Structure 1
Amino acid sequence: MGESGVLVEWDWWTVDFGDEHAGAVGVLVGGGEPGPVYFDVGSGSDVPSTRHWSAYDGRYRRPRAEVLRAVCACGWRGAAEYPLDWATVGDRPLYEADVDLTGPLADWTAHLSVVREAAVPLPEPLTALLVEIAERLNVTAAGAPLAALRAAAMLERIAAQVGREAASALCDDGLSAETVATGLGTSYSKALVMLLTAQDR
């Protein structure tokens, strides 16, 4: 999730695809994506930085964003560009300004729709069961957090076991990492690791 030492603050996230397709508002300066913004916190070797759109406000010698667009953790970049109206923003920091982010959000949502359409559909009964489990876990977490944590740990173990068996079956079927990545809505490298791990069993 970004360069070493760079805090990447994603604006949007879904349960369907998690960190693989987390979305954010990206900025363009001079037609290109600027590097991270570093914060001067005094002496020391660890200098915090970020790529969050609101940090590119031109203050304290930071780059000043000219255009906003949608970006995704998978590397996708939205084609539509949304110029920033600095006359309206004025001298305020961007995080205090009322910047309209509906365009980038809509573009990222459309990108997710394409990913979702290409992914293998879940059987309806399984989808309903997953929704019910999530709802029950949330209720349990509010009233009995330790029990909810235990249940979550059990689900992780179940998911890991089923995942290994499913990946092994895909290896036996000779499915390529590209096909698996598309079917899962994940990256090629993650799909390849799943298949290689299954082959090593």
Structure 2
Amino acid sequence: MLVEWDWWTVEFGDAHAGAVGVLVGGSEPGPVYFDVGSGPDVPSTAHWSAYDGLHRRPRAEAFRAACACGWRGAAEYPLDWATVGDQPLHEADVDLTGPLADWNAHLSLVRDRAVPLPEPLAALLVEITEHLTATATDVPLAALRAAGVLERIATRIGRQAASALCDEGASAEMVATGLGTTRSTALVLLLTAQDQDR
């Protein structure tokens, strides 16, 4: 199934990608499958715009915010089909500000529980981002080289930090909360560090 997230942040990446969730009959429907003829692969999607009732697809009754971490917004936003009419949802002027605001509120809670970055480091990351963005426009190959160097530095330092957390007996839950990521991602970081220490 094709996962299509509507919103994403550099800060939390795929762990907290956000989307407009669809409700049909008060619950989330399964994915929409597209009939493309015969063959072993049947494309599907869970993107909100596919639930328009056309071609025997389910018709969305309401929207709510959804996050890749599994969180779902409590507020439901009914879809006004009188305004949408018979047009496909992706062509309609649909108000998604409610789900977006709810997802942003969810990210604020994740951010509040995450360990804060020291101010000098946060400022340095912003400066590096600005320099890399400008370099990507002016000298793309140099920006790509710099990104590779940063990736290798981050990998090495990440291993050291994860190893130190293992030595302290940190739990996957504590690491996940501190990083603002999922428990499974935190567990992989800790297990990888343990394997490298052997």
Q: Report the TM-score range of the alignment, normalised by the length of the smaller protein.
A: over 0.9
Between the two proteins, what is the percent identity of the paired residues?
A: 80
Displaced runs of 4 or more, over 6 A = none
Q: Which residue of 2 aligns with 1:189?
A: 184
Deviation at 1:46, TM superposition (A): 1.2
* SS state at 1:7 partner: coil
- Structure 2 gap ranges (5+): none
One-letter code aligned to 2:29: P
Deviation at 1:31, TM superposition (A): 0.9
Q: 2:144 aligns with which of 149, 153, 172?
A: 149
* SS state at 2:101 partner: helix
Q: Which residue of 2 aligns with 1:70?
A: 65
One-letter code aligned to 1:70: A
* SS state at 1:70 partner: strand
Alignment of 1:67-146 (within 5 A): 67-146=62-141
Structure 2 distance, partners of 1:75, 1:155, is 30
Q: What are the Cα deviations for residues 35-77 of structure 1, in whole angstroms up to 9, with x where unaligned? A: 1111112221111111100000000000000010000000000
- Structure 1 gap ranges (5+): 1-5
Q: Which residue of 2 aligns with 1:16?
A: 11
Q: Which residue of 1 aligns with 2:163?
A: 168
The count of corresponding residues between Structure 1 and Structure 2 is 196
Q: RMSD of aligned C-alpha atoms?
A: 0.7
Structure 2 distance, partners of 1:167, 1:149, is 26
State TM-score, norm by structure 1.
Answer: 0.96
Structure 2 distance, partners of 1:195, 1:164, is 9
